[in-house]
Structure 1
Amino acid sequence: MTSPARALWDAPAASPPPPRRVWRDWVIVAALPPLIVIEAALRADVPWRWLWAVVLVGLVPTLLWRRIRPFTMLAISFAVGSTVGFVAGGDPQLITTAYFLILVYAVMRWGSGRAMLGGAALVVVGTLVSLLFSAPTFGDVVGGIAVAATTMTLGVAFRQRAAARARELDRVRLVEREQLARDLHDTVAHHVSAIAIQAQAGSTVAESDPVAAAEALRIIEGEASRTLDEMRSMVGVLRRADAAELAPTPGIADIRRLARLGGSPPIDVRIGGDPDAVPPAVGAALFRIAQEAVTNARRHARDASRLDVRVRVDAAGVRVDVVDDGAPAASAAPGFGLTGMAERAAVLGGTCTAGPAPDGRGWAVTVVLPSSGWSR
C-alpha cells in the first residue's frame, strides 16, 4: 500500500474516545420504532412494507453500540438489509430507512482506519447492489451518492475537529505546566540563594560571634522549610527543555495592580487577610488566574459598569472572586482561558468555577485554594 493508504489503514480509533451512550441515544431508539410503524401503515404502495418495518425496528438497537463498535453495527445492518432485499426483490422504500446514515456517520466519526475504509467499501457495495435490484433514475443515483458522501465527509470533519481541539487543550495544559515550572524555578532559586548567603555569613562569624551564627542557622532553617513546601506544591510539574527564559513572577499582592488598568469597566480590587501567608508559587498562580478572569470579563461582559476582584486569605486557604455586573448569561462554552485557569487551580489542589453570578446579574469566576493543597 502507498504511504497515505497505509497511514489510514493503521489509524487508531478517534481520540478522545467517545462516550458509550448519552441520553440522545435513548431518545432516538425510543422514537424510531413508532415512526417506522406509522410510515408502514400509511404507505400502502410500498412493497413488503411490513416486512421492512419489522427489519428496520429490529435493527434500531444497533444505534446503541454505534460508537464503540461502529463497523460491526454497520456491517450487521448492511448484511440484514441486503439479505431481506434479495428475498423481497428490491430495496426498502420507507423514508425511515435513512437512520442507517447515522451508522455511516459513526464509522467515520469514531471508527479506526480499518473501520473507515471498510465502512466506505460497504457504502459502495450497497450502492451497486441497489442498482441490481432496481432501475433508479440518474437523479436518484446521484442524489444517493451525494447524501452518502456528505454523511461520510461530516463524520471525518467532526472527527478532525475534535482531534484538533484535544491537541490544543493539551498544548494549553503544557503551557500552564511550563509556567508553573518557571514559578518553581524562581521561588526555589530565591530561597536557595538566601540559604547560600546565610551559610557563608554564618561560617564567617562562627568563631567570633556565635549568636550571629545561630541566627544565620535559624534563617537557613526557615528558608529550607519554605523551599520544601514550594517543591511539594509543584511536584509533578514538567517543563520542556526549550521553554522560554525564566523571569520574575508576580505574587498575590500584585493583584492590586489590576485596579490600575485603563479601560472599561473600572476594576475594584480588595485583598483581605495576610497576603504574605500565601506561598509565592500559589500567589503567582492566583495572580494569573485573576488576570485571565479580568481579561475575559472585559472581553465578553455586556453592558458591565464595574468589575470587582475580591481576595480573602485565612487559615483555611485563599479565595478569589472576580465578578462583573454585565448582562446575565445562561452559559458559556469552555474556552482555553477557562481551561487554563482550572488547570492551574487543580495543580495546586484547588478548584476554579465560572458561571452566572449568584444574584443573576453578570458573571462570576471563583477560585478556592485550600491551604492543605499548598504543600501536598
Structure 2
Amino acid sequence: MLRSVWNEPPAPDPPARVWRDWALVGVLVALALLEGAVRPDMPWRTVSMIVTVGLVPTLLWRRTRPLLMLVIAFTTSSVVPLFLGGRPDSYTMVFVLVLVYALFRWGSGREVVIGVAVMLVGVRFSLAGAPLAPADAVGAFAVVFSAMALGGALRYRARARMRELDQVKLLEREQLARDLHDIVAHHVSAMAIRAQAGLATAVTRPEAATDALRVIEAEATRTLAEMRAMVRVLRKNEPAELAPGRRVSDLRQLACQGRVGPSVDVRLAGDLDDLPPPVGAAIYRIAQESITNARRHARHATRIEVLVAADDTTVRLRVSDDGDAASPRLVSAPGYGLLGMIERAGLLGGTCEAGPGPERGWTVTAVLPRAGAAT
C-alpha cells in the first residue's frame, strides 16, 4: 500500500496560473494588513503581519510546486515561534489549508508522503512552547484532514473522468478502425474484381476494359465520398458513430453492385423504417463486410443471399453464399473484418456468428436488439 502511494505520479496537466490566483493573493494580503490594524491585541502583531504577507505568494505556485510551497509555509510558521518564544496568532494564515489541499490534489505520491511528514514535524515544533488544549488540537486536526480529503477526492474524481474519456476515445478509435476496414475492403475488392474481369475479356471484348474503368471510377468516387465524410466528422470532433451514416435500405445498392462475380440478392422483411441509426448502420456494415468476404474468399460461388428481418424486439441479418466449403484456416483464424462485425454487434447488445453453412459456403448471422441498447 505504502509503495503504491509512494509511486503515484503527479496529477497531469495542472491548470496554469490565472488572474484569479493573483486576485486571491491580493485579497489575502489586504486581509492580513486589515487584521493587523483592527487587532491591536494580536501577539507579535508586526511579525505576524510580515510572516503572513510573505507567505501568501506561495499560493501562486501551489499547483506546479505543491511540496516546495508547503515546506516553505510550514517551515517558516514553525521556526518563527522558536525565536519569538510564542506563536503568532493570525487568522489569515488559514490560507495554508489551500496549500495542503493543493499537495493532495496535484502532488505526486512521494510528495504527499514527504509533505505529511513535514506537517507533523512543523506542528510538533510550533506546539513545543505553547501546546494546544485537546479540544483545539482535535479541531485543528479535523480541519487539516478535511483539506487533505477534499484534495484526494477531487484527484480521484479527475482520474476517473480521465479514464472514462480514455475509454471513450478507445471505443471511437475501434469504431473508426471498423469503418475504415469495411469501406476500404469493400470498395477496393469491388475494383479489383472488376479490373480482373476487364483484363480477362479485354482481348476478345475491348469495350469490356472501358466498362471496367467506369465501374472502378464509380467505386473510387464512392470510397472518397465516404472517407471525406469520416474526415469531416473527425475535424468537427463529433462522435465517430455518426460517420458515415448508413441505413438498412442502402443494402439494395450492394445488390446492384453484383454485376461481376457472385450475384447478390437482398431481401428485406418486417418493419425496418424506424430503426435507430446505430442499428441500421451496424446491419449495413456487417452485411457489407460479409459480402466482401464472400466475393474474396468463396470459391466457385455464384450467389450471395442477404436477408434482413425485423420484429418488435430484434433485427436479424443472414448472409450466405453457395461457394465451396470454407478452409479450416479461415474458421480458426478470423481476420479483422470478422472481429469488427462481432464488435459492432456486441456494442449494441447483440451477437454475430460466422461459420460454414449447413450444406456449403459460408454463413454470417447477426441478431441485434431493435432498440439498439448498448451493454
Both structures adopt the same fold (TM-score exceeding 0.5)? yes
Once residues 90 and 166 of structure 1 are traced to their aligned partners in structure 2, the CA distance between those partners, rounded to angstroms, is 47
Match of 1:274 in 2: none
Which of 7, 11, 14 is 1:10 aligned to? 7
Which of 239, 245, 249 is 1:250 aligned to? 245
Paired residues in the alignment total 248
Find the structure with the greater CA-based Rg. 2
CA deviation after TM superposition for structure 1 residue 260, in Å: 5.2
Match of 1:21 in 2: 17
Once residues 229 and 87 of structure 2 are traced to their aligned partners in structure 1, the CA distance between those partners, rounded to angstroms, is 66
Q: Unaligned stretches of 5+ in structure 1? A: 236-247, 263-279, 282-376
Q: Which moved more, 1:66-75 or 1:172-181?
A: 172-181
Match of 1:171 in 2: 167
Superposed, which structure 2 residues align to 1:162-241 within 5 Å? 162-224=158-220, 227=223
AA paired with 1:7? S
Q: Are the equivalent residues in 1 in contact too, given 2:78–2:123 (CA < 8 A)? A: no
Q: 1:254 to 1:143 in 2, by over 3 A?
A: farther
Match of 2:152 in 1: 156
Match of 1:327 in 2: none
Q: 1:120 is paired with a residue of what secondary structure?
A: helix
Kindly indicate whether residue 60 of structure 2 is the aligned counterpart of residue 64 of structure 1: yes
Q: Are the equivalent residues in 1 in contact too, given 2:67–2:103 (CA < 8 A)? A: yes
Kindly indicate whether residue 37 of structure 2 is the aligned counterpart of residue 55 of structure 1: no
Q: Unaligned stretches of 5+ in structure 2? A: 232-242, 251-272, 277-283, 286-375
Once residues 49 and 183 of structure 2 are traced to their aligned partners in structure 1, the CA distance between those partners, rounded to angstroms, is 71
Q: 1:37 to 1:249 in 2, by over 3 A?
A: closer
Once residues 29 and 90 of structure 1 are traced to their aligned partners in structure 2, the CA distance between those partners, rounded to angstroms, is 26
Once residues 132 and 213 of structure 1 are traced to their aligned partners in structure 2, the CA distance between those partners, rounded to angstroms, is 97
AA paired with 2:192? A
AA paired with 2:27? A
Match of 2:81 in 1: 85
Q: Are the equivalent residues in 1 in contact too, given 2:230–2:244 (CA < 8 A)? A: no
CA deviation after TM superposition for structure 1 residue 30, in Å: 0.9
Match of 2:142 in 1: 146
Kindly indicate whether residue 91 of structure 2 is the aligned counterpart of residue 100 of structure 1: no
Once residues 123 and 153 of structure 2 are traced to their aligned partners in structure 1, the CA distance between those partners, rounded to angstroms, is 23
CA deviation after TM superposition for structure 1 residue 170, in Å: 1.2
* 1:325-346 Cα distance to aligned partner (Å, 9 max, x none): xxxxxxxxxxxxxxxxxxxxxx
Kindly indicate whether residue 99 of structure 2 is the aligned counterpart of residue 123 of structure 1: no
Q: Which moved more, 1:89-98 or 1:138-147?
A: 89-98
Once residues 145 and 118 of structure 1 are traced to their aligned partners in structure 2, the CA distance between those partners, rounded to angstroms, is 18
CA deviation after TM superposition for structure 1 residue 228, in Å: 6.2
* 1:285-316 Cα distance to aligned partner (Å, 9 max, x none): xxxxxxxxxxxxxxxxxxxxxxxxxxxxxxxx
Q: Are the equivalent residues in 2 in contact too, given 1:184–1:230 (CA < 8 A)? A: no
Match of 1:288 in 2: none
CA deviation after TM superposition for structure 1 residue 254, in Å: 8.5
Once residues 249 and 95 of structure 2 are traced to their aligned partners in structure 1, the CA distance between those partners, rounded to angstroms, is 58
Percent of pairs with identical residues: 52
Q: Are the equivalent residues in 2 in contact too, given 1:14–1:112 (CA < 8 A)? A: yes
CA deviation after TM superposition for structure 1 residue 195, in Å: 1.0
Match of 1:322 in 2: none
CA deviation after TM superposition for structure 1 residue 45, in Å: 2.1
Q: Are the equivalent residues in 1 in contact too, given 2:66–2:99 (CA < 8 A)? A: yes
Kindly indicate whether residue 118 of structure 2 is the aligned counterpart of residue 136 of structure 1: no
Q: 2:127 is paired with a residue of what secondary structure?
A: helix
CA deviation after TM superposition for structure 1 residue 193, in Å: 2.5
CA deviation after TM superposition for structure 1 residue 202, in Å: 1.4
CA deviation after TM superposition for structure 1 residue 135, in Å: 2.8
AA paired with 1:49? R
CA deviation after TM superposition for structure 1 residue 171, in Å: 1.1
CA deviation after TM superposition for structure 1 residue 127, in Å: 2.3
AA paired with 2:124? L
CA deviation after TM superposition for structure 1 residue 152, in Å: 0.8
Q: Are the equivalent residues in 2 in contact too, given 1:199–1:217 (CA < 8 A)? A: yes
Once residues 200 and 138 of structure 2 are traced to their aligned partners in structure 1, the CA distance between those partners, rounded to angstroms, is 92
CA deviation after TM superposition for structure 1 residue 22, in Å: 2.1
Q: 1:208 is paired with a residue of what secondary structure?
A: coil
Once residues 61 and 13 of structure 1 are traced to their aligned partners in structure 2, the CA distance between those partners, rounded to angstroms, is 22
CA deviation after TM superposition for structure 1 residue 142, in Å: 0.4
Q: What TM-score results when the alignment is normalised by the length of structure 2?
A: 0.60
CA deviation after TM superposition for structure 1 residue 233, in Å: 7.7
Q: What TM-score results when the alignment is normalised by the length of structure 1?
A: 0.59
Match of 2:36 in 1: 40
Q: Are the equivalent residues in 2 in contact too, given 1:181–1:234 (CA < 8 A)? A: no
Aligned residues: CA RMSD: 3.2
CA deviation after TM superposition for structure 1 residue 222, in Å: 4.3
Q: Are the equivalent residues in 2 in contact too, given 1:186–1:249 (CA < 8 A)? A: no
Q: 1:180 is paired with a residue of what secondary structure?
A: helix
